[in-house]
Amino acid sequence: MNTIYPVKTGTTLGHLIVLVTKRNLNKEEKTFNHITMAKFIFVTGGVTSSLGKGIIAASLAKLLQSRGLRATIQKFDPYINVDPGTLNPYEHGECFVTEDGAETDLDLGHYERFLNIYTSQANNVTTGRIYQTVINKEREGAYLGKTVQVIPHITDEIKRRMLLLGEDDKYDVVITEIGGTVGDIEGLPFIEAVRQLQWELPEEDCLVVHLTLIPYLKAAKELKTKPTQHSVRLLSENGVHPDILVCRTEEPLNDEIKRKIAQFCNVKQEAVIESVDASTIYEVPMMMLREKLDIITLKKMNITSYHEPELNRWKVFLDKLKYPKSKVTIGLIGKYIELQDAYKSILESFIHAGAMNECKVQVVNVHSEFIDDENVAEKLDGLDGLLVAPGFGFRGIEGKITAVKYARERDLPFFGICLGMQMAVIEYGRNILGLAEAHSTEMDPETQHPVINMMEEQKKIKAMGGTMRLGAFPCEIKKGSLAAEIYDSTLISERHRHRYEFNNDYLEQYENAGMIASGLNPETGLVEIIELSTHPFFIGVQYHPELKSTVEAPAPLFVHFIAAAKNYNEKRATARNPVLHSEMI
């Protein structure tokens, strides 16, 4: 659909007409004319990748939310994959899963953790998805014989999706993070869509925040503004003019530098925001508050109805995070440990749970591929808890099974997530039930004892991408179980991403031997939680509790796991030095 706007905005008269129009149009008319009551902020990045656009977008959204505005964030990624579901974690880090089962970019995890709201399928769009929609429409004859082109057809579809969350009056502000760096060939249609929207929307309804780098040259002892100037010029060559520049820097920017950036980049000096390196990403909203990023945004968008920022819970969390009273060491047993982003949500959940326990959580990465019976004691020595990570495929699983056995036999707190739970089931089958061949059919399709089996509905699926058991499902918890105590509830909902499950043909055998299924899906009977009643903390979950942990609502399983690790640590300390410990008490 082509955009038909009453007038070119930017003029006072134009504004007036648009605002009057905005109030009077019905929903169809608003959609047709790209008119919504929401305001739109676009966050672009320049100079280099990894500057933290997601964190800046999430911090700005947090500040606006703290002032009473309803804010959401979405990510537009320029790659051709329809979604990141088929990407190897080494390529793109963790695949985040939303409530409605979308496999998305890990930045959506940050958005949820900061804002404490759910995102959805609509919050992550890729070039692949845009083209897929346009090509499907072309095949249906929707373009009436026209030549289908990047402009206007692809850019129209990008714009439609950019504005989508602004419909329905659910949000006052929709922030769109554009993945990649300005100047990337594949990002051009997204930047062009922003250009068109900057022109089409009322001036005060559209804001562009550009994140850049101000490097410090040690040899010259100087901060350099040239890369930022080039990056803004590149953006301007594409027709987009930034309203605010957020400058990542290792050193504070003095007024002179800010003035220089403002002058060369054609923004007001107050719109040059400094973002120095922070000790934790959770500090960034407070830093942006000090830099008045929210105030300048409100001013530029002419938002007048807001209150003082309410960030008390956030500040309490930050204080606990910065001044812990104890420390535990947790082993993260996985096969993608070279790349920290592969386990992003798990690592962030540890941070939330640690703060809740006023305890610093030091995570030690242990590569599961290199754990064996001979070295396991040495590799896992000194740990207060063991988390066996999710994953796919054969590599590293025997090391995971060995690690589970080690934790089970030593009363070391154990927490298995998805594949981690499946490994705990295999370990128990092999070493306690005497099923020497126990395995998952994912790794050994011919196994004599398929204690982990492909889910029935998965067997007929051939296509990859979006075809696993995905998203939120309910789970009924057995009264009196450790899980019921942890959740303080007997009905929960958690997010999933898997194809295999506990094979219920073996359930009775397992329960008789002490491993109980304390959580089941109420409709299908799929086992969602296993635990050992004879162990202080041994729990495995088929779902991903890390996907729902936020600063303001840490995942209960992580909170209790860290509490169990603290207990274990104290017991170890007493055992090492009983006299000293009794004196301390």
Residues annotated as part of the active site: 418, 544, 546
Q: Cβ closer to ligand GLN: 233 or 499?
A: 499
418 binds ligand GLN (CB under 6 A): yes
Position 473 contacts ligand GLN (CB under 6 A): no
Beta-sheet strands, E only, within 435-481: 439-440, 450-454, 469-477
Binding status of residue 466 toward ligand GLN by CB under 6 A: no
Of 352 and 497, CB closest to ligand GLN: 497
Residue 22 lies near ligand GLN (rule: CB under 6 A)? no
Q: Does 62 bind ligand GLN (CB under 6 A)?
A: no
- Specify burial of residue 306 (Cβ count, 10 A radius: 0-12, 13-18, 19+): middle
CB of 171 to ligand GLN, least distance (A): 31
- Count interface residues toward ligand GLN (CB under 6 A): 10
Question: Looking at 261-269, 282-290, 359-367, 495-503, which segment touches ligand GLN (CB under 6 A)?
Answer: 495-503
Q: How many CB atoms within 10 Å of residue 575?
A: 9
The answer for residues whose C-beta is within 8 angstroms of residue 143's C-beta and 6 or more apart is: 137, 153
Both structure tokens of 571: 């017991």
Element (H, E) at 347: helix 344-356
Q: Which of 419, 484, 507, 557 binds ligand GLN (CB under 6 A)?
A: 419
Q: How far is the CB of 499 from ligand GLN (least distance, A)?
A: 4
Smallest distance, ligand GLN to C-beta of residue 453, A: 10
The CA-based dihedral angle spanning residues 348, 352, 354, 360, taken in that order and rounded to the nearest 10 degrees: 60
CA distances from 202 to 10, 36, 195 (A): 7, 11, 13
Residue 144, sorted as left (phi over 0), alpha (psi -120 to 50) or beta, turns out to be left
Could you say whether residue 568 binds ligand GLN (CB under 6 A)?
Answer: no
Burial class (CB in 10 A: 0-12, 13-18, 19+), 422: buried
* Strand stretches in 272-325, DSSP E: 272-276
At 144 the three-state DSSP class reads coil
Per CB under 6 A, does 264 bind ligand GLN? no
Q: Stretches 78-86, 297-305, 390-398, 563-571: which one binds ligand GLN (CB under 6 A)?
A: 390-398
Of 208, 224, 228, nearest to 216 by C-alpha is 224
Sole binder of ligand GLN in the list 85, 101, 385, 391 (CB under 6 A): 391
Does 442 sit near ligand GLN (CB under 6 A)? yes
Q: Which of 230, 292, 478, 499 binds ligand GLN (CB under 6 A)?
A: 499
Please give the Cα distance from 59 to 174 (Å, whole number). 13
Cα diameter, the chain = 87
Task: Give the nearer residue to ligand GLN in terms of CB position, either 41 or 419.
Answer: 419
Q: Cβ of residue 390: shortest distance to ligand GLN, in angstroms?
A: 3
Q: Which two tokens stand for residue 124?
A: 């992550």
Does 392 bind ligand GLN (CB under 6 A)? Our answer is: yes
Binding residue (CB under 6 A) for ligand GLN from 390, 396, 416, 519:
390
Alpha helices (runs of H) in 67-149, residue ranges in sequence order:
89-92, 107-115, 127-139
Nearer to ligand GLN, 180 or 545 (CB): 545
Please, what is the minimum distance in Å from the beta carbon of residue 564 to ligand GLN?
22
Residue 225 structure tokens? 């503004």
By CB under 6 A, name the binding residues for ligand GLN.
390-392, 418-419, 442, 497-500
